[in-house]
Amino acid sequence: MAEKPPRHPWWRTLLRWSLFLGLLVANGALAAVALGWAWLSHDLPSVETLAAYRPPVLSEIASSDGQVVGELFEERRRVVPYDRIPRRVVQAFLAAEDKNFFRHHGVDWAGTLRAGVNTYVRKRKVQGGSTITQQTAKALLVSSEGFAEGTRKNLRRKAREAILAARLERAFGKEELLWLYLNGVYLGHHSYGIESASENYFRKSVEELSLADAALLAGLPQAPSRYSPVLHPDEARQRRGYVLRRMQEDGAITEEERRAADASPVRVHAIDDPFREVSPFYAEAVRRRLVERYGNERVLRDGLRVEAAMDLDEQRAAQQAMLSGLLDVDRRQGFWGPLAHVEGPEQEALRARLARAWPAGALRPGDFAVGIVTAVNDAAGQVRVEVGGEVGVLPVAGMRWARTPNPSVHWEYAMIQRPSTALRAGDVVVVRRVEREELVAREKQRPGGRPTDVPEAPLLLALEQEPRLQGALVAVDPGTGYVAAMVGGYDFEASEFNRAFQACRQPGSAFKPVLYSAAIEKLGFTPSTLLTDAPVVFRDSERSWKPQNYGEDFQGEVPLRRAVISSMNIPAVKTAEMLSRKMGPDFLGQWAASLGLGTPVKAELGSALGSSCTHLIDLVEVYAVLERLGTRRPSFLVKRVLDRDGRILEDRIAPTDPWVPLSERLAGAYAEVREEPPRVVDARAAFILQRLMQEVASVGTGAQAARLGKPVAGKTGTTNDSFDTWFLGYTVDRVAGVWLGFDRNEQPLGRAETGGKAALPIWLAFMQAALRDRPQPEFPVPEGISFVRVNPETGEAVPPFAPGVIEPYLEGTGPDAVEAGRPGNRPVDMRDLFSQ
């Protein structure tokens, strides 16, 4: 019988099982920790070297002279080297945010525990315990994961922040971590980093910050909105005092320095938005082009340096000319009515708001304001208007234009005589403070006007209104293709629709240079070519129509010169018919496209009168082709784009650009030699048409352009019922075009509002400012041109010293002078061309 093995004591069995279970639990815990660590650290941003630190930085749009006209960003940040950050700035942030920064290893466990107890156990106000390293980690999380996820208030996010902080401490030295932090910390009002905040609040670089400035900025990270010096200056000052006391306690400053800084007032600038404040339509057009080429993410995050073709002085002149011109033409349409009508408590509430906006004495001559009509006196011809804290006088002389809109009535014959025609007590209106001399001058210019109707008053006002009319202006340097100025509408805030680039409108007679350039080159037209201006009915696209001239009269046989100068419609349609017969029905559209029109031209005779819509920028490019005597060069908004490291991404620098170094201009000249612009019109044909357009701008429908006092060629354009009015014109240095009209054609412009009356004054005001002190030479004459003095009514040559006008002709095609006993050569007759 086998002997039984001895039984182990029970406690040994229990110990063995306890050890086994303990190891099992420990391994499980380790596995759980490992899995949790992997889960928490998954997809954490990797920043292993300073060279790998590529935070989002803003992209800048600059004008030709280097002025910032637009900023594009997700986070408005400029990265500044650590050695440019003053010691006082570093000390201020350490005192405010992390006095133990140089002693901990990324996480202040005591501070974190204290904050956790106060937040989750004692249920007090949420309290932070983050070190500067943790805040840097948080900024990296926000950049990589987005603001919502990177700032989520939960334990997982705090754990990920702590893990990343530990990695940062291992990867970088303390000064490197400070550099990361000071370039990443959010300081309110789109300011990321110390340099961006210095510019935003103080218009300074970080090196120029005073002790008070540094302490104010150092107080912002905890609550940028609550301590905003723009919105809450008192709270910002209290927070700045706290930072200064901490700095003194840490021995960074003396008591005298603290008191001096604490006593200084909080002075900050209003936050600029150059994109919307300088030239929003131009900046937005540049932004769209950049997004198309580089993608939205790169534009907003990669710190592109965009050098626009804009001339900032010309851009400002364009905006001023457009604003003034739009207001003038809109007033001629009549009064659209008050902004509102208020009574009782509503009026009292509005009065209080207006008093805050325009306190007594705030209005200067020329300033606009909103006021409440308090009394209307027809007998005195005056309206009392309360503007903020004072009451002004609005005489009838300052509101005679305020008739009920009626486009069938000429505005000069419909001026009001009694203020009650337009206003009543309680109306809310836009007014402008004026000097008495301005209103007296208005009355003197008005037929039957009485300057005595303008009273003496401490605060004299004129009625204004927000225009419903819209307009656009584009100016191009024909030599370089630079778009020097561009306005896309009255108010970018109200509508971002760019009427210079996006609105397709009928050009009316502004299209005729396209037509006649083809006729001169392809049909041999000369200034003396006879065209018939007589009633005619055309059958086009299975419909019959009868074109009319603007004046609804007919001149019989007229030379081309007169047809162009007077912008006659019937000769233009007959010329289009000629081209269609000789060159084919689609020829005019093909010719227009070769000159630069990007929209199709309908294959119908009405296209001769501008019935096919086009964009203003395209029409300006066509006129630039004529200015260059037939060569086509694309216009562009952007001269050059550089990335954040200074590498050139695209370059269109012109050899004549005065704002760039000589080496870059030489490179531009070399590129231009290699890529000679294509010729689309014979130089002689372009010059002949240009000479006719010079006469349009001196004695024709655009004669007001002669007030520029420089050689000008141009053309007016007015569509049926004046829904669209245009003027396009150029000198040797500038090609500019203006369009005016209503967006939706809810009504035509007022009677007699033509391109020469409505659009040309804006063009003239702009060109006078743009070309001030810039002499413009005569247009160059190409080879193969001869000049002949002709009778302006018949186109026939006249003997030497006889009255007449000098016109250009291709050599050998000009009419002979008429001598006694021998008739000269008959000018080319359109009927001859039909018979060929």
Catalytic residues: 97, 509
Contact 509, 755 (CB under 8 A): yes
Pairwise CA distance, residues 653 & 722, whole Å: 40
Between the CA of residue 529 and those of 151, 555, 562, what are the distances in Å?
A: 77, 15, 10
First to last CA, the chain: 141
Q: How many CB atoms lie within 10 A of CB 245?
A: 15
- With tokens 């150059």, the residue in question is 274
Contact 483, 636 (CB under 8 A): yes
Q: Which secondary-structure segment (H or E) carries 386?
A: strand 382-387
Pairwise CA distance, residues 222 & 97, whole Å: 8
- With tokens 């308090």, the residue in question is 374
Query: Which is nearest to 385 in space by CA: 438, 327, 463, 437?
Result: 463
- Specify the 3-state DSSP secondary structure of 62: strand
Looking at the DSSP bridge assignments, the partners of residue 805 are 790
Q: How many CB atoms lie within 10 A of CB 260?
A: 15
Contact 526, 828 (CB under 8 A): yes
Sort 594 into a burial class: Cβ within 10 Å, 0-12 / 13-18 / 19+. Answer: middle
Sort 430 into a burial class: Cβ within 10 Å, 0-12 / 13-18 / 19+. Answer: middle
Biggest CA pair distance of the chain = 166
Pairwise CA distance, residues 527 & 689, whole Å: 8
One-character DSSP codes across 221-275: TT-TTTT-TTT-HHHHHHHHHHHHHHHHHTTSS-HHHHHHHHHS----PPPP-HH
CA-only gyration radius of the chain, Å? 37
Contact 92, 214 (CB under 8 A): yes
Contact 326, 499 (CB under 8 A): no
Q: How many CB atoms lie within 10 A of CB 664?
A: 18
Pairwise CA distance, residues 476 & 483, whole Å: 4
- Structure token digits, residue 80: 């500044």
Query: Which is nearest to 366 in space by CA: 462, 302, 262?
Result: 462
